[in-house]
Chain A
Amino acid sequence: MVRPQYLAAQVGRLINDDAAVSIDTGAHTIFTARHWQIRPQQQMAVSGNLANMGSGLPYAIAAQLAFPARQCIAMVGDGGFTMLMGEMVTAVRYKLPVKIIIFKNNALSQDVYEQIELGNELYGGDLTPIDFVKIAEACGAEGYRCTKKGEVVPILKKALATARPAVVEVMVDPDQAPSSPDHILQNKF
């Protein structure tokens, strides 16, 4: 499994200087915010105040329509991506080469960590695993999978180089807490 912090940092290093990065809502929002070193010509969009899940992919499609020549990335969790994953067909239909990076932990991880922090009984946080590579291919996009740290960079490079829409499913460690700055060392929310 890959640490989500490492994934966010590597995506940040490999993307273009003028990439548009759309971030969905979930634990990966926090990892991306903390470990992607944004460059001056790059742009970012996130559902800030409403914090709705599912917006990462449509944001990336919108960015690619607005900036046809730029690299448009979406950083999404498996939970959020699932909510609007039918939109992959929109990207394929309009030949929009968006790159979707899925932080996959088969969980609504941020909610799980919130429940732990509150001392609640864990409820409803587990997801039925979905094969996103097959989903991508079924929609006519390219699908890639990473399960080990060593695969992250070569597969990201491959996916970023293609002229077609692509989904990269990365198995991330669910035991990494999306910590606030004062809790990073304790690995808790």
Chain B
Amino acid sequence: MACGCAKYTGKLGVCIATSGPGAVHLMNGFYDAYKDHVSVLAITGAPFHDLKGTDYTQEIDTLSLMQDASVYNQEITGPQQAKTVVDLACRAALGSLGSFLQKY
């Protein structure tokens, strides 16, 4: 839906999902956006930091999963970083891929 919205409006499409399977479910739409050069920001969950690397429920390597289909790919671990990273992510998405559809 985020990819479709971006294709129709030429604006940034945004989608959210939980960690693990949620992120995996995003991938088709995310790759679609990447391969058709439209701008999508995907926000996914991650395991609680004390549980990272422990094979915890719904823990996957989200950064590696997203790497091939993204122009900006970063893990957020704190609120101050979140502000900057989201700003950079939006700029990267809108700036480097451009708009798929010209508005009439």
- Rounded to whole angstroms, the CA-CA distance of A141 and B11 in the bound complex is 29
Residue of A20, A43, A61 near B1 (CB, 8 A) is: A61
Residue of B4, B35, B36, B104 near A63 (CB, 8 A) is: B4
Q: How far is the CB of A66 from chain B (nearest CB, A)?
A: 5
Count of chain B residues near A, Cβ 8 A: 17
Contacts of B61 in A (CB 8 A): none
Chain A residue with Cβ nearest B6 = A62
Contact A62–B5 (Cβ < 8 Å)? yes
Report the contact-size class of chain A (Cβ under 8 Å from the partner): 20 to 34
Residue B20, interface by CB 8 Å: no
Contact B4–A55 (Cβ < 8 Å)? yes
Contact A50–B31 (Cβ < 8 Å)? yes
> A47-B36, A63-B4, A66-B5 are known contacts. Are A58 and B104 too (CB-CB below 8 A)?
no
- Rounded to whole angstroms, the CA-CA distance of A49 and B9 in the bound complex is 19
Contact B2–A54 (Cβ < 8 Å)? no
Contacts of B31 in A (CB 8 A): 50, 52
Residues of A within 8 A of B (CB): 20, 22, 40-41, 43, 45, 47-50, 52, 54-55, 58-63, 65-67
Residues of B within 8 A of A (CB): 1-5, 7-9, 13, 28-29, 31-32, 35-36, 101, 104
8 contacts between A and B (CB under 8 A): A50-B35, A50-B36, A55-B29, A59-B8, A60-B4, A61-B4, A62-B3, A66-B9
